[in-house]
Amino acid sequence: MRKYLLSESGSFYKANLHCHTTFSDGKLTPAEVKEVYKKLGYSIVAYTDHDILVPHDELNDEGFLALHGFEMEVNEPKRADFLCIKTCHMCFIGIEPENITQPMWHRAWYLFGNAPSHRGEVKFDENEPDFVREYSHEGISKIMRIAREKGFFVTYNHPTWSLENYRDYIGYHGMHAMEVFNGSSNQTGFNDRNDHAYDDILRGGERIYCIGADDNHNHANPASRRFDSGWAWTMIKADSLDYRAVTKALEDGNFYASEGPEITALWYENGWVHVECSDADYITLTTDIRHTYPVFAEEDEHLNSADLFVDERCKWFRITVSDKRGRRACTNAYYLEDLNK
């Protein structure tokens, strides 16, 4: 029986799920960010300024949706320059449109950049004590757990830029997704193409998704290749550009991450995965075991579809589509025990 891995119904919406503005350490105002992304073909931006949750519903129109969110960073407690220490960054996106109460607030600490000037715009639970952040497996997992309990979609961000490695992220529990692509980090020289980390976390037993995001700050000239908008994104397939329809698609994993290629159809049937996509150089299946299945285009040609065999001994598989420029699209992991029900 055919199982659609990306919903047969609905439309694809291009989304940036990690964004910074003048409300923290970005150069552009929220409205200017909207205009940049609309010109790049995006329909959705999650405004995730550092440590400060301020909704931007005034930007919504029939072709654009602003999601409510913020980013939290937890730094390694060392007496050293910030450039030399580890840090863990997470984004939290409100699942319900009414969810604009910031969890884990501290009344005096953590705000930087322009965020202190917007302190008074934050809604928080005044009955809760100030939340103190702890850089440890337990501390990070606690933050992820609380954010989920408070109704937020939790992403783990740019481990390479953060100087984190397997020993760090394998102990984090509670994320919904991780950034398999972080555009800003990549264009500043870091290798934040994190499919290896995604595989590590999946093999460690966590069922999570993967996203692509810009993490834009927009300090470079817009005409420069250093301008950090449009480098990575998440293609969300939702029934409409309605806030709850979009976050429901995030919860359900009805999306894929990309830095170029498009995936237009994806289904599983009788042990095979069928992929349809934009012009690709090769398409690869990755699993939890030592079983892969690549399909390559002939020289000077390209692929627009492939059928990939899934060994029945696999627990999960995911698909990567690569174009001739080396850009990739990555699907979420899909589990055979779910597909074979």
Instruction: Say how far residue 134 (Cα) sits from the centre of its chain.
Output: 23
The answer to whether the CB of 178 falls within 8 A of the CB of 197 is yes
DSSP, residue by residue, 312-334: TT-SEEEEEEE-TTS-EEEEPPE
- Rounded-to-integer distance, Cα 80 and Cα 140, Å: 21
- Rounded-to-integer distance, Cα 178 and Cα 114, Å: 27
pLDDT given for residue 249 in this prediction: 98
Residue with token string 């055979």? 336
pLDDT given for residue 341 in this prediction: 81
pLDDT given for residue 303 in this prediction: 97
Q: Which residues pair with 316 in a beta bridge?
A: 335
- Rounded-to-integer distance, Cα 318 and Cα 263, Å: 13
pLDDT given for residue 280 in this prediction: 98
Query: pLDDT (tens digit, 0 to 9) for every residue of the chain, 341 residues total?
Result: 899 999 999 999 999 999 999 999 999 999 999 999 999 999 999 999 999 999 999 999 999 999 999 999 999 999 899 999 999 999 999 999 999 999 999 999 999 999 999 999 999 999 999 999 999 999 999 999 999 999 999 999 999 999 999 999 999 999 999 999 999 999 999 999 999 999 999 999 999 999 999 999 999 999 999 999 999 999 999 999 999 999 999 999 999 999 999 999 999 999 999 999 999 999 999 999 999 999 999 989 999 999 999 999 999 999 999 999 999 999 999 999 999 98
pTM of the model: 0.97
